[in-house]
Copies of this chain bind each other. A is one copy, B any other.
Amino acid sequence: MGDTVYVVNPNSTVAVTEGIDRACAPLRLAGGPKIECLTLAEGPPGIQTQRDVDGVVAPLLRLVGELEPKAAAFVIACFSDPGLHSAREATKRPVLGIMESGILTALTLGQRFGVIAILPGSIPRHLRTIGGMGLSERLAGERAVGLNVTELADEAKTLDRMIRVAKELRDEDGANVLVMGCAGMAQYRDRVERAAGIPVVEPTQAAVSMAIGRVRLGW
């Protein structure tokens, strides 16, 4: 078995992968597995639709296959968990998805979780997955910041909208903990948490943490 946790960003935007990479820094331990973050070259610039989700599965599985000899585990770093169950069939290595891991981690931090989505159109897709996870009862709500790619480049605006959504999830929907519904935005976590006054889970960090545990335990 390999010694590296591969964190695959299934969209082709390298800046997102770089954000993911920075978020992994505290999880790189002497004695622990290596953590390498990759960009799926064949992916779209962003994953916004079910079609995008389904479309990245084939190249993702190819990448998983290529990396397997060197891999200790895989993390799929897109909040729609594309190809999660396919990848689990395709490799014996642990495969974690950031949506699944992010939400499961949130369940240890509060009774009802809220999700901060980027786009409103992703919400029904996420609800379907949450239903398939049997977790609808714990969901307080999901709301979208509703910014497009250009607007997301404006950090002040993005933070402002995230905080607004966070407070709505807390006050209108009764969330006790929040999950960021996207990869690569870890730099906002602390500030959203401080502003909302309730825990905020960065899902890639949650997934990499779970992956490291699995690697160390060998199961």
Chain A residues within CB distance 8 Å of chain B: 26-27, 29-32, 49-51, 53-55, 57-58, 61, 83, 85-86, 88-90, 96, 100-101, 104-105, 107-108, 110-112, 123-125, 127-129, 131-138, 141, 174, 176, 189, 193, 199-202, 205-206, 208-210, 212-214, 216-219
> Given contacts A124-B176, A127-B112, is CB(A29)–CB(B30) below 8 Å?
yes
CA distance A80 to B189 in the complex (A): 32
A124 B112 Cβ-Cβ under 8 A: yes
| Interface of A (DSSP majority class) | helix
A29 (CB) vs chain B CBs: closest residue: B31
CA distance A141 to B172 in the complex (A): 11
**Per a CB cutoff under 8 Å, which of B90, B137, B174, B210 touches A105?**
B210
**Per a CB cutoff under 8 Å, which of B104, B131, B134, B135 touches A108?**
B104
CA distance A96 to B137 in the complex (A): 21
A51 B124 Cβ-Cβ under 8 A: no
